[in-house]
């Protein structure tokens, strides 16, 4: 039996609301784990993970080590673009979330799965690399930059299709990946994505020349999550 995970697709949801939802599941998992180790009332409780899929309204998020100089808009201009901004507690620099993008938030216990943080990020990259392969795209890694890239070492051609930024405490993870499917890429023009000034951003729709059925792409990504991480997915109770 694999690592048992509750799956929840929350559709289009405000970033702050989803952040609070993540925190709730994260705290439950940390508390269960702490209780088990102390032999308290949570001892022996199933340490299930949670996998959230979501699309966000236009929002920019900045990781704890990032620079606000990589946001090229002031707050008045943000409002004009119907976008919001949050400084958050994940790793990485600045990125954009918006409609047409599959954002995945795995709240997993890496200790229970039997992997470390570096391998976890590697596996998240594998999920997206495998998800885009059927579309004739070769996803790759870039030294010094997490996420999934196309032609990362071809001068003037390197472009990111999926950003990754995570937080981990007591081996429990939150935040995750942002996979550009039908994303309006013009919003990336207002930032230095992930701190890079010499590399581009792309989407599945741009690379294939076709607007994709995002619900079908979610199924592909979800199935690859199951395969790569050895998950047993169950329906999340409302």
Q: Which residues are catalytic?
A: 194
d(CA 148, CA 162): 5
- Number of H helices and number of E strands within the chain? 6, 12
Alpha helices in the chain (DSSP H): 15-38, 75-80, 110-113, 117-132, 204-208, 214-229
Residue-wise DSSP of 42-58:
TTT----EEEEEEE-SS
In angstroms, what CA-CA distances link 86 with 44, 62, 77, 95, 96? 37, 6, 15, 10, 11
Closest CA to 157 of 144, 179, 142, 136: 142
Residues contacting 219, CB < 8 A, separation 6+: none
Cα distance between the two ends of the chain: 24
d(CA 59, CA 83): 5
d(CA 106, CA 51): 4
Asked if 86 and 184 touch (Cβ cutoff 8 Å), the reply is: no
């Amino acid at each position: 039996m694999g690592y048992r995970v509750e799956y929840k697709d929350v559709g289009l949801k405000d970033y702050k609301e989803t952040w609070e939802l993540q925190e709730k599941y994260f705290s439950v998992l940390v508390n269960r784990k702490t209780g088990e180790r102390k032999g308290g009332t949570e001892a022996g409780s199933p340490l299930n993970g949670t996998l959230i899929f979501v699309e966000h309204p236009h929002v920019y998020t900045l990781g704890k080590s990032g620079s606000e100089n990589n946001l090229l808009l002031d707050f008045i201009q943000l409002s004009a673009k119907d976008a919001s901004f949050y400084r958050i507690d994940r790793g990485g620099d600045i990125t954009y979330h918006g409609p047409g993008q599959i954002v995945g938030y795995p709240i997993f216990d890496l200790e229970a799965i039997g992997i470390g943080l570096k391998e976890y990020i590697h596996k998240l990259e594998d999920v997206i690399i495998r998800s885009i392969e059927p579309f004739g795209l070769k996803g790759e890694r870039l030294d010094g930059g997490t996420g999934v890239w196309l032609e990362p070492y071809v001068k003037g051609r390197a472009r990111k299709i999926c950003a990754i930024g995570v937080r981990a405490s007591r081996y429990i993870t939150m935040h995750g990946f942002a996979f550009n499917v039908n994303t309006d890429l013009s919003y990336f023009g207002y930032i230095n994505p992930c701190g890079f000034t010499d590399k581009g951003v792309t989407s599945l729709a741009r690379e294939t020349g076709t607007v994709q059925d995002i619900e079908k792409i979610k199924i592909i990504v979800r199935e690859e999550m199951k395969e790569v991480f050895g998950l047993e997915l169950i329906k999340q109770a409302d």
